[in-house]
């Protein structure tokens, strides 16, 4: 049995940890290096464009979830609430504001630099707009660039929408980046980075789709949040990202070859009893305890909506070096939070079928309207279409006041008991045919 205090880590996780440590080190040294800093968001991010100007991205929601995992979010949230932020406001926002008011110390213990540009890439979450209004007040005088992403109301991306977004990139976003960075936009460099983006995206899809195997060699939710880290944040388009996903894919292939299940913080899962599709973000303040409930029950998440929040690459989208700006526009519009509810239902129903899931589970986040709106409808639709038992639990992103371990554990134990009884009945029926 592994030391419960020390999580088991694969080589790829060590590589990723080093990548992130180097990034935060670089961010802490911007005064010396002169590099400019862009604050932006994960869904619909313009990482390649930022990096093509030799600027560094900072993601406020990543800082918030890291604060949650380090047990610092509760104090930050209280700080924001003292300033008048409501209990119903997204806890990412409150945590981020509280962190900035308390020195803006990043996950490596080093101070994060203030932004030189606030880049609001709006994709499906109205809270982002209000969040940046607050950041603008915290950092007066910092220029703001907004890229408005049309919502997929009709479930499709039109040429008019693409043209609208490219026009914003050319007339609003790129000129402000040129002003802040002090250099001209290099289309060729952006195009070259997208070659690496597509390579990483190909590898990520292979990794996530490996969960179609029985047993699944990965957990596509809890472990999946680590897998999506580099591509959804500061490394898409880089050689480092391609190297990371190549190593990760090699590890996954080896696990498939050996018929092994996923790695958990306490070691390899010995028996896959249940396969689930999960909708909604995880809880970050009690992440390992939350995950442990599942692997103690032999439950593996084979597909999840959260790992598509920064791009639904398994539907075929890839960044295209031949049309870099148009590609950025399509990417922004294709993120999970920018899909309409019928699209989300279709995607999740397909996951249940393609990944041969035994059940569908929703983790409803109290303060995240972008995910929680429509989830009860989604649950009913999946139950009818896929014919699998559905479950519903509630927690929050980074506010520990809304994570009840006992309540969630009891609900999940009841749910898994129901799944187990159903599997027995189905096996008996098959035996009599």
pLDDT for residue 3: 46
Higher pLDDT, 125 or 52: 52
Residue 4 pLDDT > 60, yes or no? no
Give me the phi and psi of 274, to 5 degrees please: -135, 140
% residues pLDDT > 70 (the chain): 98
Judged by average pLDDT, the poorest of 87-91, 164-168, 180-184, 426-430 is: 426-430
382 within some domain: no
Residue 361: strand, helix, or coil: strand
User: Is the residue at 47 inside a domain?
Assistant: yes
Task: Pick from 12-26, 93-107, 290-304 the range whose average pLDDT is largest.
Answer: 290-304
- Residues 6 or more apart whose CB falls under 8 angstroms from that of 407 comprise none
User: Over the stretch 340-367, which tens digit does the pLDDT of each residue have?
Assistant: 999 999 999 999 999 999 999 999 998 8
For residue range 371-412, list pLDDT tens digits in order.
888 899 999 999 999 999 999 999 999 999 999 999 999 999
d(CA 52, CA 223): 30
How far apart CA 107 and CA 262 sit, in angstroms, is: 26
Whether 129 is in a domain gets the answer yes
The pLDDT, as a whole number, for residue 377 is 95
- The reported pLDDT for the residue numbered 1 is 38
Q: Which of 23-32, 119-128, 130-139, 384-393 has the least mean pLDDT? A: 119-128
In this prediction, residue 394 carries a pLDDT of 94
Structure tokens, 45: 């991010």
> Is position 298 within any domain?
no
Binning pLDDT at 50, 70 and 90, where does residue 370 land? confident
- pLDDT score at 108: 79
306 CB-near residues (< 8 Å, 6+ apart) = 221, 224, 225, 278, 280, 281, 282, 336
Range of the domain at 49: 16-185
pLDDT band for position 9 (cuts 50, 70, 90) = low
Instruction: For 59-140, list the strands marked E by DSSP.
Output: 117-122
Give me the pLDDT at residue 5, please: 52
Residue 266 clears pLDDT 80, i.e. is over it:
yes
pLDDT value of residue 8: 57
In a domain, 315, yes or no: no
Residues 359, 419 contacting (CB under 8 angstroms) = yes
Tokens of 150: 């049309």
Most confident of 107-116, 130-139, 202-211: 202-211
Say if 402 falls within a structural domain.
no
Domain count, the chain: 1
Domain with 23 in it: what CATH number? 3.40.50.11890
pLDDT digits (tens, 9 = 90+) for 242-255: 999 999 999 999 99
- Terminal-to-terminal C-alpha distance of the chain: 42
The answer to the question of residue 206 being in a domain is: no
In a domain, 199, yes or no: no
List, as one string, the DSSP characters of 217-267.
SS-TTTTHHHHTHHHHTT-TTSHHHHHHHHHHHHHHHHHHHHT---EETTE
> Helix H segments across 83-223?
91-101, 127-138, 159-168, 174-181, 187-209
Whether the pLDDT of residue 2 is over 90: the answer is no
pLDDT value of position 6: 56
Q: What is the pLDDT of residues 62-89, one digit of tens each?
A: 999 999 999 999 999 999 999 888 888 8
């Amino acid at each position: 049995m592994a030391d419960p205090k020390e999580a088991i880590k694969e080589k790829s996780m060590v590589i990723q940890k080093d990548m992130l440590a180097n990034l935060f080190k670089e961010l802490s040294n911007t005064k010396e290096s002169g590099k400019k800093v862009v604050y932006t968001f994960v869904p619909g991010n313009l990482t390649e464009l930022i990096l093509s100007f030799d600027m560094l991205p900072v993601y406020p929601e990543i800082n918030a979830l890291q604060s949650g995992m380090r047990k610092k979010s509760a104090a930050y949230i209280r700080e924001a609430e003292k300033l008048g932020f409501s209990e119903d406001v997204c806890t990412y926002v409150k945590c981020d504001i509280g962190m900035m008011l308390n020195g803006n110390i990043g996950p490596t213990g080093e101070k994060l630099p203030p932004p030189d540009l606030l880049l609001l890439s709006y994709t499906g979450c109205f809270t982002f707009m209000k969040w940046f209004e607050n950041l603008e007040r915290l950092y007066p005088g910092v220029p703001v660039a907004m890229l408005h992403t049309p919502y997929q109301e009709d479930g499709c991306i039109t040429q008019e929408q693409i043209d609208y977004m490219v026009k914003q990139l050319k007339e609003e976003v790129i000129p402000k980046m040129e002003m802040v960075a002090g250099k001209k936009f290099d289309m060729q460099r952006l195009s070259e980075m997208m070659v690496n983006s597509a390579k990483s995206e190909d590898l990520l899809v292979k990794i996530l789709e490996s969960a179609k195997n029985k047993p699944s060699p990965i957990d596509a939710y809890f472990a999946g949040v680590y897998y999506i880290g580099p591509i959804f944040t500061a490394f898409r388009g880089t050689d480092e990202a391609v190297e990371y996903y190549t190593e990760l894919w090699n590890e996954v292939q080896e696990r498939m070859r050996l018929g092994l299940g996923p790695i958990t913080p306490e070691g390899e899962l010995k028996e896959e009893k249940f396969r689930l599709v999960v909708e909604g973000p995880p809880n970050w303040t009690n992440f390992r305890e939350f995950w442990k409930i599942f692997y103690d029950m032999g439950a593996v998440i084979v597909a999840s909506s959260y790992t598509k929040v920064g791009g639904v690459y398994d539907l075929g989208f890839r960044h295209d070096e031949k049309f870099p700006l148009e590609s950025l526009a399509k990417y922004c519009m294709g993120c999970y939070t920018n899909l309409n509810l019928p699209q989300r239902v279709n995607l999740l129903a397909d996951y249940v079928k393609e990944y041969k899931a035994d059940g569908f589970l929703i983790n409803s986040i109290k303060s995240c309207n972008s995910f929680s709106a429509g989830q009860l409808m989604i649950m009913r639709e999946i139950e009818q279409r896929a014919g699998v038992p559905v479950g519903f639990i509630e927690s929050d992103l980074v506010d520990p006041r809304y994570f009840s371990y006992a309540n969630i554990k009891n609900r999940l134990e009841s749910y898994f008991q129901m799944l187990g009884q159903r599997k027995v009945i189905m096996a008996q029926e098959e035996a009599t045919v």
